[in-house]
Amino acid sequence: MTRDSAGAVGIVGIGNMGLAMALRLQETGFAVRVRDIDPARTALAAAAGLAVAPTPAALAAHCRRVVVAVVDAAQTEAVLFGPDGVAAAPGCAGVMLCPTIAPDDTERLALRLAAAGIDCIDAPMSGGPARARAGQMSLLVACAEPVYAAWSDLIEVLSDRVFRLGERVGDGARVKLVNNLLAGINLAGAAEALALAERVGLDAARALDVIEQSSGQSWIASDRMRRAIAGDLAPRAHTSLLNKDTHLALRMAATAGLATPLGSAAAAAFARACDAGWADADDASLLEHLRRGAPGR
């Protein structure tokens, strides 16, 4: 017997985070169906015993609750409202939006879902695939209280760090962009500082030991720079994602009339790294990009 007596939970987008979430739900007793456009990802899912649907609509036909874990707003819209989208299937009662997208996109998609009779949870995710697999990632949740109640069993399995941000859909997206702008600033600063440490003849690992116990410490610096120093650039979070997210945050800031010079510098650093060929590498690759003599601002 599964935990979801109303039917399977669907997850559309089974990249690093989506597949980890699917496996977490399966492990804890939920029936899970998945969908992805990448045959390699669906093969991984099938090998793990997950049911694979041929389209988002086919998935939603068997799932009252659907989690969307794709990359951006365009993919989200296609998954929900394309010719074989989730909204075309009868029976889907609610959608949880987990990508990092602009607040206005979240609000617009939520209105379209409501018109189709489908509830929406604005729930950007954070923490990386290892935490998602363990049920320890963060979810930044904004939705009506009755909708949250209908999803609480699933949310509590996925995340032991649930931040309830109120009922205004879009506030999850806003907080996520604020966080990711700061993450980008911290990561860009850490990579620059360690590139400088190496350039003046210091051992980067020992310099990071000091930073971690001093005023320059940040979680993302420790997590990413330890891997970068070890030469481990296997993608957990692609450089292209922080490039996208920091630029979305800058757009939100511009709309709000706030100048963000540090955020602009960080966003430019990720854009240059992507242009230099690091888009599909882990965002820890920013250190290697700077080591190779990235041009100044």
- Which domains does the chain show, CATH number per domain? 9-169 (3.40.50.720), 173-291 (1.10.1040.10)
pLDDT at 229: 96
CA-wise closest residue to 69 among 104, 43, 32? 32
For residue 208, what are the contacts with CB-CB under 8 A and spacing of at least 6?
194, 221, 222, 225, 226, 229
- Of the listed 35, 176, 247, 289, which one is catalytic? 176
How far does the chain reach from its first CA to its final CA, in angstroms?
58
* Per-residue pLDDT tens listing for the chain (297 residues): 345 445 689 999 999 999 999 999 999 999 999 999 999 999 999 999 999 999 999 999 999 999 999 999 999 999 999 999 999 988 899 999 999 999 999 999 999 999 999 999 999 999 889 999 999 999 999 999 999 999 999 999 999 999 999 999 999 999 999 999 999 999 999 999 999 999 999 999 999 999 999 999 999 999 999 999 999 998 888 999 999 999 999 999 999 999 999 999 999 999 999 999 999 999 999 999 999 885 554
Contact 99, 68 (CB under 8 A): yes
Query: What's the rounded Cα separation, in Å, for the pair 265 and 259?
Result: 12
Bridge partner residues of 138 (DSSP): 126, 161
Query: What's the rounded Cα separation, in Å, for the pair 25 and 273?
Result: 35
Extract the tokens encoding 24.
């977490």
Strand order in the sheet with 65-68: 51-52, 32-35, 9-12, 65-68, 94-97, 119-122
By CB atoms closer than 10 A (0-12, 13-18, 19+), residue 290 is: buried
pLDDT at 4: 46
Contact 245, 220 (CB under 8 A): no
pLDDT at 294: 57
Is the whole-model pTM more than 0.85?
A: yes
Active site residue 244: no
pLDDT at 200: 97
